[in-house]
Chain A
Amino acid sequence: MAKFSIRELDIWFHQVHALSQASLEIESNEILSIIGPSRSGKTTFLRMLNRLNELERGFRMSGKVEMDAKDIMTEDRELIRKKVGMVFALPLPLPLSIFDNVAYGPRMHGVKSKKKLEEITEDTLKKAYLWDEVKDRLRVSAFKLSGGQQQRLCIARTLAVSPQVVLFDEPCSGLDPISTAKVEEAMLKLKENYTIVLVTNNVKQAARVGDKTAFFLSGELIEMGDTQKIFTAPKDKRTEDYISGKFG
């Protein structure tokens, strides 16, 4: 069964029509890559899945977003965000220590035991391939880490609240190729246990990691399908032009 089922989704910010009539399904334990030029509505779509859009001024929507066959707008907002984690475009550590960054989420959800928090921290830092690099300096400010390490810390922090879905919003846009490879490696490993939605500006990245790929343009979903199909035999001329680098 599909993890997410989105039907005829429209989103506006004030007068701007950011997304129109998007309908698609997102399967469990897969990576869905979303590509498209800037202002194509892809990030707006992503931020709909964990209800971050509604905090912005002038937000309006119509249509339906269902997760596990339940309308996310009628569910508890904090619970949805706990189930649907997010990694942002830039590494955004909170101004806390490495340990406190990872433990922040579980603490907010009522985990108090120090032992339990330490377990979670070790476990998630390992999943994000960061444990070996930081295990001796967990009390150091997260700002002391390199950009790539910070981004992996953010992944660990997201995993620490045991989400079912992880959203990645151009997670490698500020990283060098080696750090990017590490983040991608983490993503591929994560899909065994999580559903992953990746928004990326990097068409090659989408081809490398995505099981499915969706192409957005000017707020519309142009086409979606198996990554291989999209990249070898796109149905729409615009998709072909975009992935071959004619615009974007």
Chain B
Amino acid sequence: MNSKKSQKIAFIFLLLATLLIIVPVGLIIAIIIQKGLPGISWEFLSDIPRKGMRAGGIFPAIVGTLYLVSGAIIFALPIGLFSAIYLSEYAKDNFLTRIIKLAIVNLAGVPSVVYGLFGLALFVVFFKFGASILSGSLTLGIMILPLIITASREALESVPYSFREVSWSLGASKWQTIRNIVLPNAIPGILTGTILGLGRAAGETAPILFTVAAFYLPQLPRSIFNQAMALPYHLYVISTQVPNVDEKIRYGTALVLLTMVLFMNLIAVVIRYKFRKKKKW
């Protein structure tokens, strides 16, 4: 009986600990929605910031973030996908593979601000791209590379080995097998990973601080060598650098950023769920 009682107490504590994480998450999102929603209007989404960012909208920041995220994915998806193909289809169980896996783990663990430093040193200064969409996109691209590799690799490896054997046994080459059998069946998983990467890139601030982000830029960027505003940096600026910004604008910006990121995560979850349901094997 005594051990039953201690089990009960222990489980209550475990539940409390879990609630201690989950409840604040709900609260955070509820607060942002509740206080941010009044600030959202067509004007807020489509206008440039005015009166020293104390009025107007956040259009340039939204566009800037979209540019950066697209640039990052254009760079990271092909490299990440090919890298995943190498690891899942070609790599042997040897020292090199071990080192590659370790490098991916490390790349995933490098602090985001260190990516910012790296982007500054390599793209902005060394390659003389300056603070620009190009520099920022490349920096974000390298940052999300490990995420894309890991997700794609899992997707590729979940395609049954027997499908490959069948294809080889019919005289198809290794690449034909990858191209016609493995890739088409791994696409949902790859897509999920890619969208999660997009969400991650959209929300990061530190890597773009010195590589692209503009404090205040009331027009849209014209080329990839221009600076751009970006949503996360804009939120940082109006909440710490500019005094007396209306609460509605700050919460509204936070809500737009959060919506963007969570929406991408939602799409990824939906794809994963749908695919699991109609999986053919």
Residues of chain A having any CB pair with chain B under 8 Å: 50, 52, 55, 57, 78-79, 81-82, 85-86, 88, 90, 92, 94-95, 104-105, 108-109, 141, 143, 154, 157-158, 160-161
Contact = CB atoms under 8 A, between A and B. Distances in A.
Contacts of B169: 50, 52, 81, 85-86, 88, 158
Nearest to B170: A105
A143 B180 contact: no
A88 B172 contact: no
A79 B185 CA distance: 26
A108 B162 CA distance: 18
Interface in B107-134: none
B163 A95 contact: yes
**Which 8 A/B pairs are nearest by Cβ-Cβ distance?**
A82-B171, A105-B170, A108-B172, A86-B169, A81-B171, A95-B280, A78-B171, A92-B162
B165 to A, nearest CB: 6
Q: For chain B, what secondary structure do more than half of its interface residues adopt (helix, strand, loop), or is it mixed?
A: helix
B100 interface: no
Given A95-B281, A108-B176, A85 B170 contact: yes
A31 to B, nearest CB: 19
Interface in B75-94: 92-93
Interface residues on B, range: 10 to 19
B172 A78 contact: yes
Contacts of B281: 95, 143
A86 to B, nearest CB: 4
A45 B167 CA distance: 20
Given A94-B163, A95-B163, A141-B280, A158 B170 contact: yes
25 contacts: A50-B169, A52-B168, A55-B168, A78-B173, A81-B169, A85-B169, A86-B169, A88-B162, A88-B165, A92-B162, A92-B165, A94-B163, A94-B181, A95-B281, A104-B172, A104-B180, A105-B171, A105-B172, A108-B167, A108-B171, A108-B176, A108-B180, A157-B170, A158-B170, A161-B170
